Structure 1
Amino acid sequence: MTTESILMMAVAMVIIWGGLIVSIVALRARPERDDLPPGGVDDHRQDAGIIEHDT
C-alpha cells in the first residue's frame, strides 16, 4: 500500500469510529428528548386487521 492509501484509510477510520464514539457519548448524555410535546391519544390502529379489498 502506498503512503496516500494508508493516510486515506486512517482518515476514513477516524471519521467512522469518531462518529460512532461521538454519537454514543451524545446518547449517554441525553438518552431521551425532553423538548417534545406529550403524546396524543392512542387510536389502536395496530389492533385493526389488514384491509382486504374485493377486486
Structure 2
Amino acid sequence: MTPTAVVMMIIATLTIWGGLVGAIVNLVRHPEVAEDEPSPPVEL
C-alpha cells in the first residue's frame, strides 16, 4: 500500500471509531429518559 493509502485508512478508521466513542460518551453523560415513553397497557 502506498503511504497516501495508509494515511487515508488511518483517517477513516479514526473517524469511524471516534464517532462511536463520541456517541457512547454522549449517552453516558446524557442517558435517554424512560419517562417520555408511554406506559404499556394493563391486561385485565
| C-alpha RMSD of the superposition | 2.4
Please tell me the residue identity of whatever aligns with 1:18. G
Aligned length: 43
Higher helix share: 2
Structure 1 residues 1-55: aligned runs within 5 Å? 1-33=1-33, 36=36, 39=38, 42=41
Structure 2 residue runs of 5 or longer lacking an equivalent are none
In the TM superposition, structure 1's runs of 4+ consecutive aligned residues that sit over 6 Å from their partners are: none
Structure with bigger gyration radius: 1
TM-score by length of 2: 0.72
Seq. identity, %: 36
Structure 1 residue runs of 5 or longer lacking an equivalent are 45-55
